[in-house]
A and B are shown apart, each in its own frame.
Chain A
């Protein structure tokens, strides 16, 4: 596993740093807004707007994990498709399923590490000034956005690894419909009841890239 991770690390290291800084920057900026409102209007005002006006202060993050996930897939898999370099990867003496899963696992792990860092930052800072119900409200509202980041990454991987352009276009349309589910409601905690199903729904997307790899091996163009 270390071998494949080494390759993926070489390919993505600078982008991973940028992705981490970007998401931490947006999360940090949301917390700065929270502190600014608190300094200007007091903690009670923050509590009030969070309860009565659905403010969560990290709403700027909404599409950031998705964009980060999409770009990570581009950075990771476009070099594989350049001059059909994927042939080299699939020629390694390891089962193809294992190779693909290891590459995806690397990307998923990178997104999860980024997400956990973001959540820790938001949770630790917000818990200093907000009750557990309020800071968990911020995190639970943001959770589907991070799942959308994972889904975006997995769907983009599926699209990029697909060898035929005509099929890629079909995949893009399907991916857009799938991703829309993550952004149907902007109400805080709108997805709380469905989060476990949402997580399973996201995990199912892991298997899509295998379809593209099978088609690549069959020589579809």
Chain B
């Protein structure tokens, strides 16, 4: 599979504050890749670099094998962009915005896809976008992307401000569209349950670097939560790069790891942790994310 997005050795700083260094990743054609990370790990920075609205300190991003900074404008026909907060032109109404965008995408614009989604919104065709709720605006933004019918979708925090109903509607519509048409998606979201329903692959970012990048199912199959009993009042002093965020609460040790049960037991023994009854649990994506990145 060829890479639709290829970012190599990205480094970016805001002033002297390092966001990340030497970050590289690829998004293969036909895959949905979710970028997960705590606030400040550089998700929006990455989206901004990918959309061409931020020049990284060093490194290069290519989309459809063209450098983003010098991309042929016509190539943007094949990239659907959803800005954080579902921002759209506030001064237009549902019909005007469709008429405006349609002229830029001759031959590929699918008016019916837009109006099919708009029919689900209980708003008049002449209602201004400025008077819509965030949920309604998200449907307008999604409808426009579906009508544009691009090969690549870049979605920045698509679930922000949406109630569960609109979130589900957005995810279901998007997934159906992407899978039916073999589109490529790069997205971020704060709501990890939505990501789990949507993504094929995920990148989990930590401060300054990528913590892991792998297919979602592989991640869920390999990362586990481990719990064990430790003596009451035991002061845990454990520093092992293979064991993520170990903590003790009321005699219960908890940690996360990609290692199998036996290997974790071995690591704990080598570290001299007096634990008993070591258990391994499977996780959903949210638990895996918190386990790997920590609660704080």
**In the docked arrangement, what's the CA distance between A79 and B105, Å?**
23
Contact residues, B74-132 vs A (CB, 8 A): 74-77, 79, 81, 83, 85, 87-92, 96, 99-100, 103-105
Pick 19 A–B contacts, CB within 8 A, sort by A: A6-B99, A6-B100, A6-B103, A10-B91, A10-B100, A11-B91, A79-B89, A79-B91, A84-B83, A85-B88, A87-B51, A87-B53, A87-B81, A88-B83, A91-B51, A91-B79, A93-B75, A216-B53, A217-B53
**In the docked arrangement, what's the CA distance between A49 and B129, Å?**
56
Whether, in the assembled complex, B55 has its beta carbon less than 8 Å from a beta carbon of chain A, the answer is: yes
**In the docked arrangement, what's the CA distance between A83 and B84, Å?**
9
Evaluate contact between B55 and A219: CB separation under 8 angstroms: yes
Whether, in the assembled complex, B191 has its beta carbon less than 8 Å from a beta carbon of chain A, the answer is: no
Whether, in the assembled complex, A96 has its beta carbon less than 8 Å from a beta carbon of chain B, the answer is: yes
Evaluate contact between B90 and A93: CB separation under 8 angstroms: no
Range class of the B interface residue count: 20 to 34
**In the docked arrangement, what's the CA distance between A216 and B53, Å?**
7
> Closest residue of chain A to B144, judged by CB?
A88
> Closest residue of chain A to B49, judged by CB?
A219
Chain B 56-79 interface mask (CB, 8 Å, partner A; 1/0): 000000000000000001111101
Whether A91 contacts B81 in the complex (CB less than 8 A), given A217-B52, A219-B54, comes out as: yes
Whether, in the assembled complex, A197 has its beta carbon less than 8 Å from a beta carbon of chain B, the answer is: no
Whether, in the assembled complex, B48 has its beta carbon less than 8 Å from a beta carbon of chain A, the answer is: yes
Evaluate contact between A93 and B76: CB separation under 8 angstroms: yes
Whether A83 contacts B85 in the complex (CB less than 8 A), given A92-B104, A219-B48, comes out as: yes
Whether, in the assembled complex, A7 has its beta carbon less than 8 Å from a beta carbon of chain B, the answer is: yes
Chain A 91-104 interface mask (CB, 8 Å, partner B; 1/0): 11111100000000
- Residues of chain A within 8 A (CB-CB) of B96 are 10
**In the docked arrangement, what's the CA distance between A218 and B91, Å?**
27
**In the docked arrangement, what's the CA distance between A75 and B99, Å?**
22
Whether, in the assembled complex, A166 has its beta carbon less than 8 Å from a beta carbon of chain B, the answer is: no
Whether A87 contacts B83 in the complex (CB less than 8 A), given A6-B99, A10-B96, comes out as: yes
- Residues of chain A within 8 A (CB-CB) of B74 are 93
Evaluate contact between B103 and A83: CB separation under 8 angstroms: no
Residues of B that sit less than 8 Å from A by CB: 48, 51-55, 73-77, 79, 81, 83, 85, 87-92, 96, 99-100, 103-105
- Residues of chain B within 8 A (CB-CB) of A217 are 52-53, 55
Consensus secondary structure, chain A interface: helix
- Residues of chain A within 8 A (CB-CB) of B103 are 2-3, 6
Residue of B53, B92, B104 touching A90 (CB-CB under 8 A): B53
Tally chain A residues at the interface, Cβ within 8 Å: 24
- Residues of chain B within 8 A (CB-CB) of A87 are 51, 53, 81, 83, 87
Residue of A83, A93, A95, A218 touching B83 (CB-CB under 8 A): A83
> Closest residue of chain A to B81, judged by CB?
A91
> Closest residue of chain B to A94, judged by CB?
B73
**In the docked arrangement, what's the CA distance between A144 and B74, Å?**
41
**In the docked arrangement, what's the CA distance between A88 and B55, Å?**
18
Evaluate contact between A93 and B100: CB separation under 8 angstroms: no
**In the docked arrangement, what's the CA distance between A118 and B148, Å?**
43
Evaluate contact between B73 and A83: CB separation under 8 angstroms: no
Evaluate contact between A93 and B92: CB separation under 8 angstroms: no
**In the docked arrangement, what's the CA distance between A79 and B130, Å?**
11
Chain A 1-18 interface mask (CB, 8 Å, partner B; 1/0): 011001100110000000
Evaluate contact between A92 and B52: CB separation under 8 angstroms: no
Whether A218 contacts B92 in the complex (CB less than 8 A), given A87-B81, A92-B76, comes out as: no
Evaluate contact between A96 and B53: CB separation under 8 angstroms: no
Contact residues, A48-73 vs B (CB, 8 A): none
**In the docked arrangement, what's the CA distance between A95 and B51, Å?**
14
> Closest residue of chain B to A82, judged by CB?
B90
Evaluate contact between B87 and A3: CB separation under 8 angstroms: no
- Residues of chain B within 8 A (CB-CB) of A85 are 83, 87-90
Contact residues, A135-170 vs B (CB, 8 A): none
- Residues of chain A within 8 A (CB-CB) of B73 are 93-96
Residue of A11, A83, A90, A218 touching B54 (CB-CB under 8 A): A218
**In the docked arrangement, what's the CA distance between A2 and B106, Å?**
14
Evaluate contact between A219 and B53: CB separation under 8 angstroms: yes
> Closest residue of chain A to B14, judged by CB?
A221
- Residues of chain A within 8 A (CB-CB) of B77 are 93
Told that A6-B99, A11-B91, A91-B81 touch, could you supply 14 new A-B pairs with CB distance under 8 A? A3-B104, A10-B89, A10-B91, A84-B87, A85-B90, A87-B81, A87-B83, A88-B87, A91-B79, A92-B104, A93-B75, A93-B105, A218-B55, A219-B54
- Return the 6 tightest CB-CB contacts between A and B, nearest first: A219-B54, A93-B76, A3-B103, A93-B77, A83-B87, A218-B55
